[in-house]
Structures are given as C-alpha cells and as structure tokens.
C-alpha cells in the first residue's frame, strides 16, 4: 500500500536509503517498487508503471527481474501495465503497439 511521504527534510530523513554501491541501490529501489506493486495487486487493482529512459535504471530493472524470478515478490503480469517513456515516440495513433493487447 502506498504511504504519504512527508514534505520536510526532518521527517523525510529517517526513510532515506543509502547503499554502498550501484547494485545495492538498485536492489533497494527494486524492493521498494515491487512492494508497492505487490500491495496494489493484493488490493485487487491493476498496477501501472512508467519507466524513465536512462541507462542508470538498468541495475534496478535487473534487480526487479531477479527478485520476481526468485519468488520474493508475487507479481501478476496480467494485472501489470508498464510503459517506457520513449517507447512510443513517433508511432502513429493507430499503431498496434499502442493497443492494450500488444
């Protein structure tokens, strides 16, 4: 379930995560994302994810895939819709890639 984040630094500081390296940060981010997605799905809702376009996210994506494949998070892909920000750039409005069934 999603929680409201505080808007001031003193309240936010205790929930800031620090990792020793890129791989560790990717795993921390992946766990936070998957926990939110899993909670959304447990409540019977579909989850929608939007990924920004940047190679710096590859570590997080790999960690997400590994955690799901290892069974640590139960993600029903039938209830998940994911977009990559530049994925549909330049497609015509009736392109099949824009269909929910693609």
What is the CA angle 100-60-97, rounded to 5? Answer: 20
26 with 63: CB under 8 angstroms?
Answer: yes
The encoded tokens of residue 41 equal 């799905």
Q: Report pLDDT digits (tens) over 7-59.
A: 676 676 677 788 899 999 999 999 989 999 999 999 988 899 888 766 778 89
| Alpha-carbon Rg for the chain in angstroms | 16
Beta bridge partners of 51: 84
Q: Report pLDDT digits (tens) over 60-74.
A: 999 999 999 999 999
């Amino acid at each position: 379930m999603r929680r409201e984040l505080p808007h001031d630094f003193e309240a936010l500081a205790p929930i800031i995560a620090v990792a020793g390296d890129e791989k560790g940060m990717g795993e921390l981010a992946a766990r936070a994302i998957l926990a939110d997605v899993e909670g959304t799905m447990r409540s019977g809702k579909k989850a929608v994810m939007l990924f920004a376009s940047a190679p710096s996210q590859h570590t997080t994506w790999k960690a997400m895939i590994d955690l799901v494949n290892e069974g640590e998070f139960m993600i029903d892909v039938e209830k998940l819709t994911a977009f990559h920000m530049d994925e549909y750039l330049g497609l015509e409005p009736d392109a099949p890639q824009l269909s929910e069934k693609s």
